[in-house]
């Protein structure tokens, strides 16, 4: 069987980390694309020189030509500008919308059968625009945010409860931004929901509220520390888990930004919800019962995403 092909659009911090992870995991041959000449080629060469030590056979090339992504099975998009300190994800909107247009057209012309995972921020608006520009079916275009947000939430919960990260499951819905909705009723330690753990005296509501706040600002906390860019290890790891679920038809239940068609009372909008990812792309959208509070928070998050789309349509009238 021919090796799978993974195309990474954007060869910056996340793109390079994605390429490294995909090579180490032997997911397939890798094409690193960027508009900057030399960077994807240099990173590809560096990564190729890992192969003798790590023993992977994947071929890694760097390119500035979309023709090289032809036939890609999975495409992960990180092209664009990352946040600088003091910049919100939404500040990136105008710049990255133009980038999504060129990426969407490149995908449409060269790899229309791929499963596309978008990471570029502001995520919920960019993944929607990427689908519009690429014309791919909605079940083949998803946004990576929920896996990262819930991973951050889980890491903080494991620290708080002093338990193995392996036993923590956490649940985050909504947009990727300050309005994301960590749902504690569905966040557990070995199946024990966080509210029960609070009742058992293992933590307090105040501490959990502080963790939720830290999770919502998880990206910003890292931007403030790095000063010259945004998080890249955990975003790349998160997207790779989604790519694996597609490539190996794992049918994992993962939170992802997907196009809702009435679920959660939302229509034709990309919002983070639990989905099943398998060989068909987004195979199921899982609609869970939400508490009144979680539903109200989700509504706020949905409104924030809607505002972003209004802004996108004002910038690029072809999106109307």
Residues contributing to the annotated binding site for substrate: 83, 89, 121, 152
Q: CA nearest 238: which of 165, 144, 155? A: 144
Instruction: Report if residue 99 touches ligand APR, rule: CB under 6 A.
Output: yes
Q: Which residue has the tokens 């590809």?
A: 44
Among 24, 35, 198, 290, binds ligand APR (CB under 6 A): 35
CA neighbor of 11 nearest in space, from 102, 74, 101, 76: 76
In the complex, which residue's CB is closest to ligand APR?
A: 12
Peptide bond connecting 104 to the previous residue in cis, omega within 30 degrees of 0: no
- Residue 247: which of 19, 5, 31 has the closest Cα? 5
Q: Does 146 bind ligand APR (CB under 6 A)?
A: no
Residue from 6, 7, 14, 305 touching ligand APR (CB under 6 A): that is 14
- CA–CA separation, 201 and 196 (whole Å): 9
Q: List binders of ligand APR among 215-244 (CB under 6 A).
A: 229-230, 232, 235
Binding-site sequence positions for NAD(+): 10-15, 34, 96, 119-121
In the bound complex, what is the minimum distance in angstroms from residue 219's beta carbon to ligand APR?
A: 8
Give the span between the Cα atoms of 169 and 151, in whole angstroms.
9
CB of 33 to ligand APR, least distance (A): 6
Q: Just list the catalytic residues.
A: 176
Does residue 109 belong to the site contacting ligand APR (CB under 6 A)?
Answer: no
Q: How far apart are CA 26 and CA 21, in angstroms?
A: 8
Of 60, 82, 145, 304, which one interacts with ligand APR (CB under 6 A)?
Answer: 82
Which region among 6-14, 187-195, 244-252, 277-285 touches ligand APR (by CB under 6 A)?
6-14
Integer Cα distance of 92 and 83 in angstroms: 7
Q: Inter-axis angle of helices 93-110 and 123-134, to 10 degrees?
A: 30
The reply to whether 279 sits near ligand APR by the rule CB under 6 A is: no
**Closer by beta carbon to ligand APR, 143 or else 182:** 143
Cα distance between residue 89 and residue 81, in whole Å? 10
- Determine the interface stretch with ligand APR among 46-54, 118-126, 133-141, 271-279 (rule: CB under 6 A): 118-126
Q: Does 179 bind ligand APR (CB under 6 A)?
A: no
End-to-end CA distance of the chain: 43
Q: Is 142 in the site for ligand APR (CB under 6 A)?
A: no
Q: Which residue stretches of the chain are H helix?
A: 13-24, 39-48, 51-54, 93-110, 123-134, 146-161, 194-199, 205-216, 218-226, 233-247, 292-315
Contact between 50 and ligand APR (CB under 6 A)?
no
Least distance from C-beta 215 to ligand APR, angstroms? 16
Binding site for ligand APR (CB under 6 A): 9-15, 34-36, 39, 78-80, 82-83, 92, 96, 99, 102-103, 119-121, 229-230, 232, 235
């Amino acid at each position: 069987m021919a090796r799978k092909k993974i195309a990474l659009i954007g060869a910056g911090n996340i793109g390079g980390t994605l390429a490294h992870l995909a090579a180490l995991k032997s997911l397939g041959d890798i094409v690193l694309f960027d508009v900057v000449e030399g960077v994807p080629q240099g990173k590809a060469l560096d990564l190729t020189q890992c192969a003798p030590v790590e023993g992977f056979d994947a071929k890694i090339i760097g390119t500035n030509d979309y023709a090289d992504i032809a036939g890609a099975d999975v495409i992960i998009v990180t092209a664009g500008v990352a946040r600088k300190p003091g910049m919100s994800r939404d500040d990136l909107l105008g710049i990255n919308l133009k980038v999504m247009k060129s990426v969407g057209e490149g995908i449409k012309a060269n790899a229309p059968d791929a499963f596309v995972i978008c990471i570029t921020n502001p995520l919920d608006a960019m993944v929607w625009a990427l689908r519009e520009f690429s014309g791919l079916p909605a079940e083949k275009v998803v946004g990576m945010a929920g896996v990262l947000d819930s991973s951050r939430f889980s890491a903080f919960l494991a620290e708080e409860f002093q338990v193995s990260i392996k036993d923590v499951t956490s649940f985050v819905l909504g947009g990727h931004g300050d309005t994301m909705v960590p749902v504690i009723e569905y966040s557990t330690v070995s199946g024990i929901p966080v509210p029960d753990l609070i009742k058992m005296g293992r933590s307090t509501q105040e501490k959990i509220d502080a963790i939720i706040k830290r999770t919502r600002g998880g990206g910003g906390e890292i931007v403030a520390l790095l000063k010259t860019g945004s998080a890249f290890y955990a975003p790349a790891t998160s997207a790779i888990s989604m790519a694996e679920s597609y490539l190996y038809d794992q049918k994992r239940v993962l939170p992802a930004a997907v196009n809702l068609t009435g679920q959660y009372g939302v229509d034709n909008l990309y919002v983070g919800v639990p989905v099943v990812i398998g060989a068909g792309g987004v195979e199921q959208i899982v609609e869970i019962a939400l508490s009144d509070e979680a539903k109200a928070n989700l509504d706020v998050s949905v409104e924030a995403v809607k505002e972003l789309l209004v802004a996108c349509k004002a910038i690029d009238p072809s999106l109307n």
